[in-house]
Amino acid sequence: MSNKIDSPALTDGFHLVIDALKLNGLDTIFGVVGIPVTDLARMAQAEGIRYIGFRHEQSAGNAAAIAGYLTQKPGICLTVSAPGFLNGMVALANATTNGFPMIQISGSSDRAIVDLQQGDYEELDQLNAAKPYAKAAFRVNRPQDIGIGVARAIRSAVSGRPGGVYLDLPADVLSAALEAGAAKHSLVRVIDPSPRQIPAPESVQRALELLASAQRPLIILGKGAAYAQADADIRAFIERSAIPFLPMSMAKGLLPDDHPQSVAAARSHALAQADVVMLIGARLNWLLGHGRSPQWSAAARFIQIDIAPAEMDSNRPIAAPIVGDIASSIASLLAALQPGRIKPASSWIDELTQRKQRNAQQMRARLAANPNPMDFYSALGAIARVLEQHPDVYLVNEGANTLDIARNVIDMRAPRRRLDCGTWGVMGIGMGYAIGAAVVSGKPVLAIEGDSAFGFSAMEIETICRYRLPVVVLVFNNGGVYRGDDINRGGGSDPAPTVLMAQAHYEKLIEAFGGAGYHAADPQTLARTAAAALASGKPALINCVIDPKAGTESGHIGNLNPPSTIARAN
């Protein structure tokens, strides 16, 4: 260790950081070590903090972000200066975009040299580089400010709309000695870091009046609603108001997907025909067609519950904004809800039910087909049946077709169990989210990964094996980005831009680290191996062979690809 202080009357910056985290109940660090934070990780482990060491900072950051989402406490990611810091930035920006609380703590090089650009080892003006991507960014320049710096980072990460916070710790601040008594005194325990934000009573009344006037009301649950952990009250409000609901991807399971009021199977009809829509912790962004026609009725009126006041009217006028935290807002709505006041028209419920039944029948037919090689539906149908027996399993999901089809085929039955690409549509969250979820929950995780998506964080299977985490990775190997059958339009021997190796035996990767590798080319083998792997509680990877011709370009969002204006490159 670099900085040995024997005198009990002295401490140093390293220990102060650890004490500040512990004082605030932060007991896990996800990171990659190197100059100047190696000793910070060692000492944290010595002081009882769990340190999970990754192979790449992006995955460490993703683990921290999802840990924050699941626990409502900021997940901590530790990075080295400059390149390590930048590797973590995608995860920090992703956390900010999705509203997950995390803190990236990074060591940094000598300020005097960095600011004069004199060429230090791993030189970078990290604070300014972080600012555009973080909800907040701070640098601690004096060891006596570590306590207040950590406190500011914690409060910034979890209060209001949660997000990613950057905390810069220069090497000399970490190694600086302090008198122990004064150091202890400088620590800050953050009181009530995300205080309740009780909505104005008139905003609650306005919303209830609008709902009472509706014939075709609809509730949309977003991941903000899942994050809020107000599960029982949300369910009570939906059931007492009898309003049909639609979960956004990560809100699936907040109420079970087989709940009679779920209209997930009639999604487009519900969006297009609803006259009053209540958004609970969901933004009207691209995932909801920006609230515009033709996806939505131009006459629909909106109620939005959100902790961020500026979210209101961001894409479409909000007739009844409720600014508050979701737990307090739903409690206020429940308290003011008079029985029978809100009455969805029976014709609305009937038409949604008919649509649901029709679409469910089509889906059943697709799932029943048993093509050889497997397509996404037959493989996911097999997995859906396995997960019916394991409602507590965390499901991580990324890819394009693998993501979109799994979202539709796999029902969720418990809240906050579905963790996916989220608001940014980012690839590379897979192993980081899987590790973060396994570490904070201690429960099994199934990561369903497109073969391309998996590649972005694949090396972390060594991390999964090293920490013996109960993570089962399912690689949907159709030999390509979206699909594996494209050809080189120039006629050369190089593969087409979307093509990967369909013959790849991904299961051999995990065998290199002592994990269990499986190969599945039919639904029965897939179901059997997935069930056995989940039951084992040990690291496993299943190479799941999917037809290279299965899948559509960009999955369900192919319409977002810009069309070429000339026909030259067909």
Least Å from the CB of residue 519 to ligand TZD: 17
Give which of ligand TZD, ligand ADP, none residue 448 binds (C-beta under 5 to 8 Å, depending on kind): none
Nearer to ligand ADP, 325 or 547 (CB): 325
Q: Decide whether 91 or 280 has the Cβ nearer to ligand TZD.
A: 91
Nearer to ligand TZD, 24 or 402 (CB): 402
Nearer of residues 307 and 447 to ligand ADP, judged by Cβ:
307
Q: How far is the CB of 450 from ligand TZD (least distance, A)?
A: 2
CB nearest ligand ADP: which residue?
A: 224
**Are 398 and 420 spatial neighbours (Cβ–Cβ below 8 Å)?**
yes
**Residue type at 410?**
I
- The one-character DSSP state at 480 is B
Cβ neighbours around 360 below 10 Å, total: 12
Please choose which of ligand ADP, ligand TZD, none residue 416 contacts, taking the beta carbon within 5 to 8 angstroms, the exact cut-off set by kind: none
- Residue 503 structure tokens: 């013959």
Q: Which does 401 bind (CB under 5 to 8 A by kind): ligand ADP, ligand TZD, none?
A: ligand TZD
User: Which CB, 438 or 447, lies closer to ligand TZD?
Assistant: 447
Residue 115 buriedness (CB in 10 A; 0-12 / 13-18 / 19+): exposed
- Kindly state the smallest distance separating residue 167's Cβ from ligand ADP, in Å: 22
Shortest CB 500 distance to ligand TZD, Å? 7
Starting at the earlier edge strand, list the strands of the sheet with 301-306.
Answer: 245-247, 217-221, 276-280, 301-306, 320-323
Give least dist CB 227 to ligand ADP, A.
5
Indicate the pairing of strand 177-179 with strand 10-12.
Answer: antiparallel
| Distance in angstroms (rounded) separating the CA atoms of residues 272 and 267 | 9
Nearer to ligand ADP, 168 or 311 (CB): 311
Complex with ligand TZD: residue 452 or 543, whichever CB lies closer? 452
Closest to ligand TZD by CB, 203 or 401: 401
Q: How far is the CB of 286 from ligand ADP (least distance, A)?
A: 10
Residue 230 is encoded by which pair of tokens? 């107000």
Instruction: Identify whether 523 is preceded by a cis peptide bond (ω within 30 of 0).
Output: no
Please give the sequence-ordered ranges of beta strands (E in DSSP) within 428-493, or none if there are none.
445-450, 471-477
Contacted by 481, from ligand ADP, ligand TZD, none: CB < 5 to 8 Å by type: ligand TZD
CB of 324 to ligand ADP, least distance (A): 7
The token pair at 120 is 């230090």
Query: 399 with 450: CB under 8 angstroms?
Result: yes
Between the two ends of the chain, the Cα-to-Cα distance in Å is 61
The entry of ligand ADP, ligand TZD, none near residue 428 (CB within 5 to 8 angstroms by kind) is: ligand TZD
Quote the crossing angle between the two packed helices 326-336 and 231-241, to the nearest 10°: 30
Element (H or E) spanning 245, and its range? strand 245-247
Closest to ligand ADP by CB, 163 vs 548, is 163
> Smallest gap, in angstroms, from Cβ of residue 423 to ligand TZD?
12
Pick what 308 binds: ligand TZD, ligand ADP, none; C-beta below 5 to 8 Å, kind-dependent: ligand ADP
User: What are the respective helix, strand and coil percentages of the chain, to the nearest 5?
Assistant: 45, 15, 40
* Residue at shortest CB range from ligand TZD: 450
Closest by CA position to 421, among listed 406, 411, 410, 409: 406
Please report, as ranges, the residues that interact with ligand TZD according to CB under 6 A: 399-402, 425-428, 450-453, 476, 478, 481-482, 551, 555
- Residues in contact with ligand ADP by CB under 6 A are 98-99, 161, 222-224, 227-228, 248, 250-251, 281-283, 285, 287, 306-308, 311, 325-326, 423
How many CB atoms lie under 10 A from the CB of residue 204? 25
CB of 506: closest distance to ligand ADP in angstroms? 29
Element (H, E) at 280: strand 276-280
